[in-house]
Chains A and B, each alone.
Chain A
């Protein structure tokens, strides 16, 4: 491979990382808003949040991407830049998965903690911010870490729409060299390295957050993430 082609791959890495950062931020925002809405005391708020989760979790991320690229522009007169269209589709889809994680972790906080907050006459928002979330967030990190890897794998889908991410640069190099084994091996290795770094960062984050509430992270068995990938949270 020549250096020009490597430059292409590096540009692809950069686009993938940008997309990963933007869509994970959107997904995190959606997860917390929808996940907290599902514990709201008004039934209509819980119901709407539930519908959102079912709809976005029920459809395929790739179908969602197609929809945002091809249906939104004529239907609503929006023409999004590919980066934002990809961010929107991935963030909304993976946010729906994330909202289940947030809801589960909030539900797992000892109910006496909430009762204590009520007894001390905290407002609902204070209760959420000062009592529930600090205890629930560290528990969310391992499943969020798995979801982040799923999101990284999901970013490859935008290459079908012609966005120049890592997978797309692999296709370009294949066309240039008329040879596929080498380049796809490199592309897979690069994705693997990014995923590996992400798990390390998330593990460090978990340790730090758990220390903040006076807990130590459980001893892990060697390289065994929860079997709760993308479908295991149902």
Chain B
């Protein structure tokens, strides 16, 4: 086994570029998934099966099919319908949509966890439906699901390399490009492998700290 530190130092500038793109995808993708997931969770509570049934089927479908094929779908099919985004935007939309089907379950559990007395109090105070949701239910529901949402951010981090398949140059994309140009595969791939382990370990420590804070 040969390890070449020069290759590592040559790769580092590309690594930082890739890391920046990875973090961009992560932040934007998380925001999309948090927002869309909340929309799905609220739609699933509409008391009409003409709403819940289609939303349930679509989200179940998205959750049970591979993100990679969904990426290909958006990347190749949308241009055929004359909708063109950059590869990065397509990737963020796809990853956000995919994870929104997970976060919707998290929100659902959070909303169901709000004690029924809160609903009754809101009814007794004659709060309009919108105020009940925005001032009573959601603040309590979202507070208790923050740790669970954080877990999905960490698993989203581990799915960001998939965007390489639609030409986005995030960490793995940069590593592959570098290896193909220099015929050195070991160093760049190991560097980003270690980077993923370190980032997700630090993120899980931060999440545990946050969880302790929210518990009080």
Contacts and interface: CB of A to CB of B under 8 A. Distances in A.
A141 to B, nearest CB: 18
B172 A231 contact: no
A55 B197 contact: yes
A222 B72 CA distance: 30
A79 interface: no
Contacts, number: 147
Given A63-B161, A225-B105, A227-B105, A184 B65 contact: no
Interface residues of A, number: 52
A37 interface: no
Nearest to B192: A63
- Per DSSP, chain B at the interface is helix
Contacts of A171: 72
Contacts of A156: 66-69
A224 B112 CA distance: 13
Interface in B162-206: 162, 164-165, 172, 175-176, 179, 185-186, 189-190, 192-193, 196-198, 200-201, 204
B172 A153 contact: no
A216 interface: no
A156 B165 CA distance: 12
Interface in A95-134: none
A47 interface: no
Interface in A179-234: 179-181, 184-185, 187-188, 191-192, 195-196, 222-227, 229-232, 234
B142 interface: no
B190 A58 contact: no
Given A180-B76, A225-B105, A191 B186 contact: no
A75 B1 contact: yes
A75 B1 CA distance: 4
5 contacts: A58-B196, A58-B197, A66-B189, A76-B1, A185-B73
Interface of B: 1-2, 56, 60-61, 63-70, 72-73, 76-77, 80-81, 102, 105-106, 108-109, 148, 151-162, 164-165, 172, 175-176, 179, 185-186, 189-190, 192-193, 196-198, 200-201, 204, 207
